[in-house]
Each structure stands twice: as structure tokens, then as C-alpha cells.
Structure 1
Amino acid sequence: NPRLMYAPVKEEVEWDEPCIIRYHDIISDREIEILKNISRPLLSRSLTTGGVSKNRTSQGVFLKEDNIVVARISQRIADITGLSKKSAENLFVQNYGIGGRYEPHYDELDDENGRIATFLIYMSDVEIGGATVFPQVGVALKPKKGSAVFWYNLHKNGNVDLNTKHAGCPVLRGNKWVANKWIHEFGQEFRRPCSLSYWE
């Protein structure tokens, strides 16, 4: 992407299968504070597809792109991933207090236009706890303020990558702020071509 030539990102492969990539310093402290300030008065109990659940104990809010900072971050995510933001959900900001957690789950919603990928931004460090873990493969990602992790939830053939089941460990000390961008399948056909192979 031409924009990344002027503002390149630092990329680190955290795991190979599934491929989990961490991008460092992709959001500034000022942008983080703006997102927090916008979100605080709007936060409400985060839901799952079944509504309020004891498996997910955070507060969250979807932010529309009518705010210039939100729009800029969404565009940055599109530039980094190479995926279209037109079929993506609004940026979802979440706050986890002491004991806040999210039990193991898949981001894929098992519908026709599923969540092909997840871009998870860490907006705070966490003193103890709060890691993002992938139990199927034994990966634990510690929150690092200003960084983000990215992975595909679906194989190229459209099947769910079972290794992408993940969880948010309980926050034991500190406060955890994250922002999720869930990107859907439709509109990505030429950006991430599909495959008929069972193995892709």
C-alpha cells in the first residue's frame, strides 16, 4: 500500500499455524486517549450472540467512522491487512476491569458473510493477566499498548480455522482496553482469493 511506504509498520510473526501477526506502534497514545474518551460515557455490558453471558465480562461500544480518529484507524487497518473495510464492522472498543475475561470462543459467527479476520488493538498494558490465549496451539499474547494482533478466522476454502479458538484471560491487576475490528468475507474475493482445496 502506498501509504505504508511513508509510514511503514513493524511486523512480528507470533505464530505460524494459525498465522498470528503482531504489529507494533500502530496507534499513538493521543489516538488511544481519544478513543477512550469517546467510549467511556457509551460503554455497556458486552454481549455474545446469545445476549448477556457470564462467559464475557467486559464493557464495550461500537464506534462509527463519523469521528475522524475512528475513520483514520479503520483506514489504517485496511492499509495494513490489505482487506476492504466496506464489509467490516464498526470499531468495537472494550474495557476489562479486575476479573474481566472472555471464555474460549471463535470470532466467526457461522453465517453467510462470516468474519474472515480479526484485528485486535491493545490500548493499554496490563500489570498481571489479560493475555489473549489460543488454547488449541498453546499461544499466549501479552497486551502491549500501541500494538495489534491480526489473524484469519477462516481458511481460504471458507471453513473455520479451528485453531483460532481464543480467550481473554482474567485481568488480575490493572485495566485492559482493546479495540476490535472484525472484517467480513464479502468484498474480499480479490484481496484474499478463495480456494477449493480442503487444505487451504
Structure 2
Amino acid sequence: MLWMQQVLKQLNAGEYSTVSKVQVLNHLSDISFQLGDLYRAVDFTHQLLSLDSSHKQSQLNLPYFVKLLEEERAGNLGNEESETKQETLNSSPQDTLDYKQTLESYESLCHGEGIKLTPQRRKRLFCRLHYGNRTPQLVIAPFKEEDEWDSPHIVRFYDVMSDEEIRKIKEIAKPKMKRSRVFSLTSGSPQASRQRISQSVFLTEEEDPVIGQVNHRIRLITGLSDETAEFLQVADYGIGGYYEPHVDYFLDFDSDPLEFIVMGNRVATFMNYMSDVEAGGATVIPYLGAMISPKKGTAIFWYNLLRSGKGNHLTKHAACPVLVGCKWVSSRWFRERGQEFLRPCGPTEVE
């Protein structure tokens, strides 16, 4: 297991090898199953299929592993630790990284350890002017864009929000904020959880023109349709506030199938940093070994879904605890419906 994990780590770092990721993931899936670690077996199998959807053995293994995992969960319903793990993962077996392993990586990154931004990878990151789809507004006044990570592609935009806009949005949000909630698989609805310690609120454009200004600017930058986008969510992470590893895309729409039909999944995330943080508060991606520091007025953007429509498990991210100061962010999630011609399917499943 340790040997194969090291091989996968070096492949993810961009090292050349005659051994493919598919071969390594196949070994890891088999080893995990033999060790009785079904969470990991399912995750490695899912990763393999995201790279090679025609892999016959994995196609057979995945439903079998999932069935065993569900039986194991059913047998542990009275176990408090099992229930806590299930809620904290906030995901289906197909997209679940081993909980303990992910938390260890998350904590290491928050301590400034285990960052994988190697010199070789840094060479693939660039800065540029962002003209969007050559819209007149951005041709006249393009945004500064900086690569934070190459694959999956995560970018940072500068000077997205002015100090006055940030002040106004905070002023609107503060009296309406409540304890943030996360979706619980056990209850099938959002509820407060120790997975996320923060306050948040969704703001509509009717509340103040500044919300519409910011939303319009986000639409221009991303080039995506906002017809099915969610309202702007404003969140405040005070001292000790954090958000454990999670994905932004939905893994289960059984609670509201109509919403899935009408709006689709969360295809992309646009997150504004509305404050600097003296210590802590970084956004980290445990599976990549990436850490992105908050910078007031900037925003980061990435796609949560592959072009096939499947969730990209590599985008699982987290917010490190705030140690000194206060962290304000505002996020907008774009849904699939309306993006069919703006971000069409690629020639391959994983492109």
C-alpha cells in the first residue's frame, strides 16, 4: 500500500513513468479491498474509472464494493463514530476519500507542510490578462489572472471587488447571518455540523444594486450563463472558523430530484476573498497538496465537474482554521443548465 501510494504521489507531481495511473490505482483498489478498507477501495476504483471508463474489472468491482460498504454502514447505524464519519464525508461512496487520510493531509497543509507546488509544476503556471470571451467590457478593462494550479485548473483574478462593494455587502449580510449548514446524508437535508464552523447567508439582487453589480461582473469573468446560478453566498469565518474537506458538487439529488432536472449540478465555483487574514484561513486542496492564501479583492475560480458531467473528486477542498483575524468570502455556484453551448462536452470523458 505504502509503495503504491508513493508511486501515485510521484505521478501526480508530474514525474514520467512507464507505469500508468490506471495500473497503480488498480493495485491500490485491490490492496484496500484485501485490507478490508472499503472506503479506500471504492475511492480508488472511482478514480480509476474517471481515467479509463472501459476498465472491465473496475466496472465489476465498483458496484460490489459499494454494496459491501452499504452493508457495513447498515450494520453500524448504532455506532456514533460511523454516523459522524458519514455526515462529515458529505458524499457518496464513489467520491469518498478515506476520511482519516484526507483529514491528515488537510491538517498538514494548514500547518504549511506537504505542499506539492514543485519547481516543475510552478513552471506550468502563468499570469495573463483575462479578456473573457472578448466581451466589450473586458476588452476595454481586462482582469489580471494568475494560475494557482494547472490540473485541475484553478485561477485567481485580481481586483474583482472594490473596498466599497465589500463594505456594503458586509453591511447587508451581518444582520441576516446564521450558523452555516451542510447537507447531511443521514437526514437528507442541510443542518448545522462540526464539519463547518462559520456564519453565512444567501443574498439576492433585490436586496441592493451592489449584489447585481458583483453578480454581473462574475458572469462576465467566467463567461458562463447565470440563469440557473445560485444566489451570492456570503460567509464569515471568525477566529477558529473552518470548513473540513468537501466537494462543491452534489452527490445525491434524491432529496430534490426536480431541482436536479431544472438546474443540474454545480458545474463551477467562483469565490471572492473579502478580507485579508492575519494567520490561517487558507483554502487547501488535500488531494493535490495545494494551498491558496486569502487576498482581499481577489477571487478564485475552478470547474467542479469534468466535461462528461461527472464530479471531479480532485476538487475536494477545505478552509483552514482562522488563527488571527477574520475571514470573509462570498461564493457563487453555477449550475449545469444553460452552459451546454458555453462549456460543451469534450472529445473524451475526462477532458
Q: 1:65 aligns with which of 187, 193, 205?
A: 205
Inter-partner Cα distance in structure 2 for 1:195 and 1:159: 12
Q: Aligned equivalents of 1:195 and 1:17: distance in 2?
A: 16
Higher-helix-fraction structure = 2
Could you tell me the percent identity over the aligned residues? Answer: 51
Matched, 1:185 2:325: no
TM-score with structure 2 setting the length: 0.56
Match of 1:160 in 2: 311
Aligned to 1:83: 224
List alignment gaps of at least 5 residues for structure 2: 1-134, 185-190, 254-259
- Give CA deviations for 1:107-157 in whole Å, capped at 9, x if unaligned: 001243110000000000000000000011111000000000000000000
> Given residue 4 of structure 1, which amino acid in structure 2 is its aligned partner?
L
Q: Aligned residues, how many?
A: 200
Say yes or no: does 1:55 pair with 2:195: yes
Are the counterparts in 2 of residues 157 and 196 from structure 1 also a CA contact under 8 Å? no
- Counterpart in the other structure of 1:8: 142
SS of residue paired to 1:48: strand
Amino acid at match of 1:108: Y
**SS across alignment from 1:14:** strand
In structure 2, distance between residues paired with 1:74 and 1:14: 23
Residue number among 278, 292, 302 corresponding to 1:151 in the alignment: 302
Does residue 37 in structure 1 map to residue 159 in structure 2?
Answer: no
Match among 236, 244, 257 for residue 103 of structure 1: 244
- Bigger radius of gyration, 1 or 2? 2
**Larger relative strand fraction:** 1
Q: Distance in 1 between matches of 2:307 and 2:349?
A: 9
Q: TM-score, normalised by structure 1?
A: 0.98
Which structure has more relative contact order (CA 8 Å, sep 6+)? It is: 1
Instruction: Return the alpha-carbon distance in structure 1 between the equivalents of residues 165 and 198 of structure 2.
Output: 21
RMSD of aligned residue pairs (Cα, Å): 0.9
Please say if residues 102 and 168 of structure 1, whose CA atoms lie closer than 8 Å, have aligned partners that are also in contact.
yes
Mapped partners of 1:22, 1:93: distance in 2:
18
